[in-house]
Structure 1
Amino acid sequence: MGDVRDLSSAPSARRSGWRPVDDELTLRAERHAPRLARHWVMRAIAAEGVVGSNNQVIELLTGELVSNAVVHGPADGEVLVGLRVDRRTVRVSVRDTGQGRPRVRHPEPTAPSGRGLALVEALSSAWGTATHADGGKTVWFDVELDD
């Protein structure tokens, strides 16, 4: 007879009694906001059993979107980070009051910045933007979870 494994720690088992997560975090548009957002998202998704490479990709992409909001939004503004976790997908959204429209760039290899949305495009399952009538925008990404 083979070894008995505790399957209650497997991500799919942890999600079996699970309820959707829908939460928000408001941060000042300051230099440390990306780190705070990454840690908040990582703790929340780990509590839902999202681990391994999915967790790392979500951490990286969250930091990229919040960094963009801090750099391109108003210096005295706020950044609203949204998190939704369901059985199959994690969605992170980042809203700021900046007026610019995000676009994917492909900078020269020696350029110091400009790769954030290219990473989001390459590593997420889907991503997009929405502009708001009261000004500002939301940039979001989805990561499909492994079974």
Structure 2
Amino acid sequence: MVLTAERSAPRHARHWVMRAVAGAGVGGASNQVIELLAGELVSNAVIHGPADEPVRVAVRVDGGVVRVAVTDRGGGVPRVRHPEPTEPNGRGMALVDALSTAWGSARLADGGTTVWFEVDTDD
């Protein structure tokens, strides 16, 4: 899926990812976690990447493992933050770190970044 880096992108991505994994037979809590984490990655791409640029979302289901990758043209590197309880944001990558089986990022030759996570749905 290709979206424009704008405010509505995370919602569209969450719904698309949810339908994609449900279509592959993934349901229940795993589907909800995958939907949440996909929304967090797309939100980060919208907030930290270039405005109005493409954001690509890819989903792969391989047996009991779901992998979601989000690519934008920004050059940032994600990091897990632990903000104070009163801070209004900054928890997205902490959620990804806590709820995914694995995650990572890669800088692309064109200067963009791909951030991905995996969820093992066999747990």
Which bin holds the TM-score, normalised by the shorter protein?
over 0.9
Whole-Å Cα distance in 2 between the matches of residues 86 and 126 of structure 1?
14
Tell me, in whole angstroms, the C-alpha distance in 2 between the residues paired with 1:76 and 1:56. Answer: 27
Aligned-partner residue type, residue 34 of structure 1: P
**Cross-structure match for 1:69:** 45
Q: In the alignment, which residue of structure 2 is the partner of 1:54?
A: 30
Which aligned runs of 4 or more in structure 1 are off by greater than 4 angstroms?
none
Structure number with greater Rg is 1
Q: Which residue of 2 aligns with 1:119?
A: 95
For 2:6, what is the secondary structure of its paired residue? coil
Indicate whether 1:79 and 2:48 are aligned.
no
Partner Cα distance (1:38, 1:122) in 2: 19
Partner of residue 5, structure 2: 29
Report the Cα offset of residue 134 of structure 1. 0.8
Q: TM-score, normalised by structure 2?
A: 0.97
RMSD: 0.9
Task: Extract unaligned runs of 5+ from structure 2.
Answer: none
TM-score by length of 1: 0.82
The percentage of counterpart residues that share the same residue type is: 69
Q: Secondary structure at the match of 1:113?
A: coil
Q: Secondary structure at the match of 1:119?
A: helix
Match of 1:139 in 2: 115
Amino acid at match of 1:70: V
